[in-house]
Amino acid sequence: MGRPCFIASLRGSSMTVSIWQADDTQPLREVDFLVVGAGLVGCAVAYFAAQAGRQVTITEMRDVALGASSRNAGFMITGLDTYYHRAIERYGHETTRELWQLSAQTHAFWRRIAAGTDVRMTQCGSLLLAESAEEARDLELAARAMQADGLEVEFHSTDPLRRGYFAAIEQPWDGAVQPYELVQQLYKASGAELVANNELYAIRQERPDVVTVYTRQYRFEARHVMLCTNAYSVHIDPYFIGRVIPTRAQCLVTAPLKDPSILNTCGYSDYGFMYYRTTFDGRLLIGGGRKQNKPLEHDTTDDRVTDPVQRVLDAYLRAKFPDVEEPVERRWAGIMGFTPDGLPLVGTLPGKPNVGFAVGFNGHGLALGAGVAERAVDMLLNRADPGVLRASRLD
């Protein structure tokens, strides 16, 4: 077998491996089902593959749940990153209903994984809030469309929080979770072996039943490989360039509040560009600020915070929560993977039929991750059609 062809994107990759770190003579390991990425979706894929009778190994460039899976706000909000009636216009009625059902199934799965464990999770509901009169009209139309499809949401024509919003949709079945704890528990439930701190730099499939994956510690020979690398997929294979766009999201959190009851739900407004909740230890978390800084936050895998976005978050804290006196104690960023049409991608790499992928969650991994992971495993093992998630729709 010849030397591997280096396949990573040249656009500022953080996953390159030097010849000093690995010279292609690393120990060879034969594995059955290899998952690349130990985040929320990677651990869900590991779980479903194990349920299908596979022996699962996960390789991860860092460690379990250290990427975007634990750098988000921990929202379990049902649906996509667009309002329901807009989704119908864009994807069609049947597809929209299917995706909302997939989201509900995903949340039910997270709840089963968390049940009887120490994972902190609550069914606090959510409020989709309008920042303008125009958004209020959109929310009313969305609520009507959801109610017509049997979704028991409540439309508020005024601001239920009394903080200057224009209207709201209340989804009482939604919830909040401590996302790091959830992924750790999911990994434990999967029973998979983990190889951590192990960067991937090449993938080859030269035989029908074997995929060779070159990583810093090992050369894996696997029957099946599933890429669960989301935003970092552009550093794995050129196929993903233009199909998955790395996009930075930023948050801040205050010190514990004297009165943590000021917000007892998950808030989501400005068409999803702003979001906020209280944490399980009583802090106020605010995320967003990307709308005002899209060029800065677009097409990057640098997970450092930036002053322009953090200034937006600080201003939002002062404007919407003037009663919060506690200082900001932590700021962070995570990298999401967006797709051109707003839907996740499930498929196999061109020329590598045993290399599947489940990527491009558009900031909604907690909303769709388990359902997408289950379909991806079924596709790779049984050649099942992933339906609306089929990546070939972008070809």
State how far the Cα of 278 lies from the Cα of 330, in Å rounded to an integer: 14
Residue whose C-alpha is closest to residue 332's, from 6, 67, 90, 136: 67
Residues 71 and 209 in one domain: yes
Residues 273 and 303 in one domain: yes
Helix (H) or strand (E) holding 111: helix 93-114
Please give the structure tokens belonging to residue 191.
């029973």
> Among 338, 368, 383, which residue terminates a domain?
338
What is the domain-level CATH number for residue 60? 3.50.50.60
What pLDDT is stored for residue 4 in this prediction? Answer: 47
pTM (2 d.p.): 0.96
Residue whose C-alpha is closest to residue 348's, from 334, 337, 335, 358: 358
Residue whose C-alpha is closest to residue 194's, from 85, 97, 91, 66: 66
What pLDDT is stored for residue 359 in this prediction? Answer: 98
The burial class, CB within 10 Å (0-12 / 13-18 / 19+), for 141 is: middle
Beta bridge partners of 126: 171, 266
Instruction: Return the residue matching tokens 């079945």.
Output: 173
Say if CB 303 and CB 335 are below 8 A apart. yes
- Which residue type is seen at 385? D
Residues 200 and 92 in one domain: yes
3-state helix, strand, coil in the chain (%, to 5): 35, 25, 40
Phi, psi of 193 (to 5 degrees): -80, 140
- Which residue type is seen at 303? D
> Among 172, 201, 234, which residue terminates a domain?
172
Residue whose C-alpha is closest to residue 292's, from 277, 276, 314: 314
What pLDDT is stored for residue 15 in this prediction? Answer: 64
State how far the Cα of 298 lies from the Cα of 335, in Å rounded to an integer: 10
Residues 5 and 25 in one domain: yes
Residues 116 and 66 in one domain: yes
Domain that holds residue 223: 1-122+173-244+340-395
Q: Domain total for the chain? A: 3
Phi, psi of 130 (to 5 degrees): -95, 130
Beta bridge partners of 345: 359
What pLDDT is stored for residue 295 in this prediction? Answer: 96
Say if CB 210 and CB 222 are below 8 A apart. yes
Q: In which order are the strands placed within the sheet that holds 175-177?
A: 75-76, 175-177, 121-122
Tens-binned pLDDT, residue by residue, of the chain (395 aa) = 445 443 333 333 336 899 999 999 999 999 999 999 999 999 999 999 999 999 999 999 999 999 999 999 999 999 999 999 999 999 999 999 999 999 999 999 999 999 999 999 999 999 999 999 999 999 999 999 999 999 999 999 999 999 999 999 999 999 999 999 999 999 999 999 999 999 999 999 999 999 999 999 999 999 999 999 999 999 999 999 999 999 999 999 999 999 999 999 999 999 999 999 999 999 999 999 999 999 999 999 999 999 999 999 999 999 999 999 999 999 999 999 999 999 999 999 999 999 999 999 999 999 999 999 999 999 999 999 999 999 999 99
Say if CB 25 and CB 48 are below 8 A apart. no
Residues 325 and 216 in one domain: no
Residues 94 and 185 in one domain: yes
Residue whose C-alpha is closest to residue 376's, from 361, 363, 364: 361
State how far the Cα of 6 lies from the Cα of 99, in Å rounded to an integer: 36
State how far the Cα of 119 lies from the Cα of 151, in Å rounded to an integer: 28
Q: Are strands 121-122 and 175-177 parallel, antiparallel or unpaired?
A: antiparallel
Residues 21 and 84 in one domain: yes
What is the domain-level CATH number for residue 331? 3.30.9.10
Residues 327 and 354 in one domain: no
Residues 35 and 60 in one domain: yes
Helix (H) or strand (E) holding 320: helix 307-320
Residues 130 and 211 in one domain: no
Residues 114 and 218 in one domain: yes
